[in-house]
Amino acid sequence: MKRLIRYARTILKTSFDNIRNERLKENLLQAVPFWVGSIITGIIAVLYAQIFALGEHTLHKILNWHLWMIFIIAPTGFVLSWWLVKKYAPFAKGSGIPQVMASVELANPKDNHLIHRLLSFRIIIIKILSSFVLVSSGGAIGREGPTIQIAGSVFRKVYEFLPEWWPKISKKNMILTGAAAGLSAAFNTPLGGIVFAVEELSKTHINYFKTALFTAVIIAGLTAQSLAGSYLYLAYPKTNDVTLWIMFPIIFTSGICGILSSQLSVAMLKINRLKKKLKTDFSNIIFLIICGLIIATIAYFINRDILGSGKDIIERVLFSDNKTEAWYVPILRMLGPALAFTSGGAGGIFAPALSTGASIGSVFAGVMKLTDNETNVLILAGMVAFLTGITRAPFTSAILVLEMTDRHSLIFHLILAGMMSSIFSVLVSRHSLYEVLKINFINDIKK
């Protein structure tokens, strides 16, 4: 009897070990595509960041040499950026985040075949080329949204290369994880990538793909760090010795940012609808030339702050003694993205939104006669608030700015800014810019 019991135990243990080994093998095989996609994403994100920075640097170098050249560069670049997208990858236009959101929604047996038009190798190439041309010509765009679409395309291609015998992986989870890895690599903000995937993109409970998501953002971020070095997007602004009184300026400024950013979204959607009425390429080219000339005129006669992503504005108001922007700078920072984002070329709005919020915070800090450290807090709150008004993702916006600056003591201030902006932005429009554009992309791709 004892022998029989020992034999039964041996059989059960062997069976259990085999099952455990099979599960471990399957889990490892399922993880490998996410790891590969994350490494590739990190490499491409760093290369893209360098290309994008080269475009901005080249533009400023040319304009420092002869400012009048903006009248040639801006119209030409706007047209060329639009033409590259229209000719080679129509769904590479704009930010890229709505395209990823649309891809997640289309990741079902009925619509799976449509995703390749939103996420592909061609999208990666045209996204980089078009946004480089647009930022080099003075377009007020960022690279973060495009990085998310690029990452989604990388993960989709990795998924397509998996052999038939590979353990089953959800394409939706693959795309979601790619988007999170892209944001993590673009801003060096792994927590922001995770929160973005959950708050902005996911309609699936995080338990279904949390391990893949966490490892992907870590690997993509570490890959980017190994190539570009460990860095903060905005390093260590001074915010110490600030009293609770600052909460009142934060509430006021965040409400204003929420209203203005939501109004900017509505304006950009109206411009998009107007552009759709332009049936011929000639009429589109005329429209883009006019947009380019408006940008050039403002840059030449008023202020060059209308050009580019606006990161130099953020760094100036946070880290120099010149903390107060002129009252019209926020207007320029809204007008620039409105014209560039709707041009039909590739380019994101994350960085322009952050710079617009920073300029609004700076202006109101000057009006309220705040100290330098209080000004920095209001600038960071403005960044969170304006980005929230565009994305309607207050926690993502707060975590992004928190990680960019390493100011963990401001977590409550930044969440308050995001929440107040979210409340006030609804007064202008119930839906976010990305949500409306996602619906438009789905409708266009199904035609």
Alpha-carbon distance values, 40 to 174, 266, 398 (Å): 14, 36, 27
CB 92 within 8 A of CB 85: yes
Q: Judge whether 413 lies within some domain.
A: yes
Would you say residue 128 lies in a domain? Answer: yes
- Mark whether 349 and 283 lie in a shared domain: yes
- Phi then psi dihedrals of residue 89, to 5 deg: -160, 80
For 298-324, b where at least 16 C-beta lie within 10 A, e where not — what string?
bbbeeebbbbbbbbebbebbbeeeebb
Does 145 fall in a domain? yes
Neighbouring residues of 403: CB distance < 8 A, sequence distance ≥ 6: 187, 188, 189, 190, 191, 192, 232
Same domain, yes or no: 260 and 404? yes
**Tokens 């399922």 correspond to what residue?**
30
Whether residue 29 lies inside any domain: the answer is no
Token reading at 192: 């922001």
Beta bridge partners of 348: 142
pLDDT of amino acid 30? 77
| Integer CA distances (angstroms), 230 to 65, 280, 341, 366, in order | 33, 48, 30, 33
Q: Which residues pair with 142 in a beta bridge?
A: 348
Q: Is residue 11 part of a domain?
A: no
Q: Which residue carries 């793909």 as its tokens?
A: 209
Residue 17 in domain: no
- Select from 186, 201, 228 the last residue of a domain: 228
Query: Do residues 212 and 259 both lie within one domain?
Result: no
Within a domain: residue 94?
A: yes
- Of 200, 228, 256, the one marking the end of a domain is 228
Do 256 and 175 share a structural domain? no
Q: Are 255 and 427 in contact (CB under 8 A)?
A: no
Same domain? For 294 and 208 the reply is no
d(Cα 43, Cα 124) in Å, to the nearest integer?
13
How far apart are the C-alpha atoms of 264 and 425, rounded to whole Å?
10
pLDDT at 362: 96
Which of 198, 228, 258 lies at the terminal end of a domain, its last residue? 228
DSSP string, 202-218: --S-GGGTHHHHHHHHH
Is residue 149 located within the same domain as residue 181?
Answer: yes
Please check whether residues 419 and 319 belong to one and the same domain: yes
CATH assignment at residue 41? 1.10.3080.10
Boundaries of domain holding 266: 244-446
In this structure, the answer to whether residues 253 and 160 fall within a common structural domain is no
pTM for the whole structure: 0.89
Average pLDDT, 10 consecutive residues per value, the chain (447 residues): 54 49 70 87 93 94 93 96 95 91 87 89 96 94 92 93 82 87 83 77 56 72 72 74 89 96 94 86 92 94 90 90 90 93 90 94 94 93 96 90 85 92 92 89 84
156 near 357, Cβ under 8 Å?
A: no
If asked whether residues 301 and 419 sit together in one domain, one would say yes
Q: How far apart are CA 318 and CA 372, in angstroms?
A: 9
14 falls within a domain: no
**HSE toward the beta carbon, residue 237, CA cutoff 13 A:** 32
Which candidate, 252, 177, 200, 208, places its Cα nearest to that of 416? 252
Nearest to 145 by CA among 337, 307, 383, 347: 347
> Per the structure, how many domains does the chain have?
2
* Radius of gyration of the CA atoms of the chain, in A: 23
Residues 177, 258 within the same domain: no
Same domain, 97 and 224: yes
Residues 259 and 206 in one domain: no
CB atoms within 10 A of CB 86: 17
